[in-house]
Amino acid sequence: MSCWNANEAVLGTLMAAGGDSVIAISDELNHASIIDGIRLGRQINKQSKSKVYKHSDMENLEALLKASSDIQYKLVVTDGVFSMEGDIADLARIVELCNEHDALLIVDDSHGVGVCGPTGKGVAEHCGVHGQIDCMTGTLGKALGGAAGGYIASSRKLIELMEQKSRPQLFSNAVPSATAGAANKAIEILTRDNKRVEKLRENVHYMREGLKSRGFETMEGPSAITPIILGETSKAIAASKRLLELGVFVIGFGYPVVPEGSARLRVQISAAHETEHLDRALEAFSKL
């Protein structure tokens, strides 16, 4: 089970359980797995509803929650780190709004856990609301070792509902034991030692400053994702190809993954990178 499946499981199951009084309210730049999870929920429960709020616009989210006051089950869904932007959700304010309007908050923190927060516990820790998120989904395939698998973390009652009702969990293979063991070890290492998190932050700062000094426009954020906006899709793909020729693997993203005219390169930094690796990458960007 991947985080894609985890998002489909939690959204499909909760929207199905809400009968004719459930709505999912989603950030417009949420990951495709969240979008598809809500679409699945709408198909399972034809009476369910969904709304989209403008990216990180808390006034718009508040307005949608107020307009949904007569709906019993309100689900607010957001990425922790937005995978194409590298920015983070304002979880402190979202938690306030969900508490005020009796909504359940679901956060996909696939790009945040192991990266954000003083000890790498994710965007909730970074925003000072660790332990206040109703339901978190995530992946074992990024900071936690790079292998397969996803997870849902929530209250015992919600997890029991997932175990009994979520089809992606009931009808898919278990994570291989070797993968589960590796992920367990990664969590143990992250819990006892945050040196890797600190090194990652140093590497991200070094790379961002190096790119800026070479004239590239990067988007700010505390995550390891560093997008470089180039505009046209053809330009981003050509730049990605040229960087590979120079020995640096950077993926170019264009429409329909990102809006037309905002194609980009997405640089992701690792704690495993040494300064000489980053310098080699920056030299390639200079040539680019």
Residues designated as active site:
83, 111, 142
In 30-88, the DSSP E strands lie at: 49-53, 73-79
In the chain, the DSSP E strands lie at: 22-27, 49-53, 73-79, 103-108, 135-139, 150-154, 225-231, 251-253, 263-268
Report how far apart, in Å, the C-alpha atoms of 231 and of each of 213, 257, 258 are: 20, 13, 10
- Residues shown for the chain: 288
C-beta of residue 99 within 8 angstroms of C-beta of residue 137: no
In a 3-state reduction of DSSP, which class is residue 161?
A: helix
Helix (H) or strand (E) run with residue 125 in it = helix 123-126
Q: Strand 225-231 and strand 263-268: pairing?
A: antiparallel
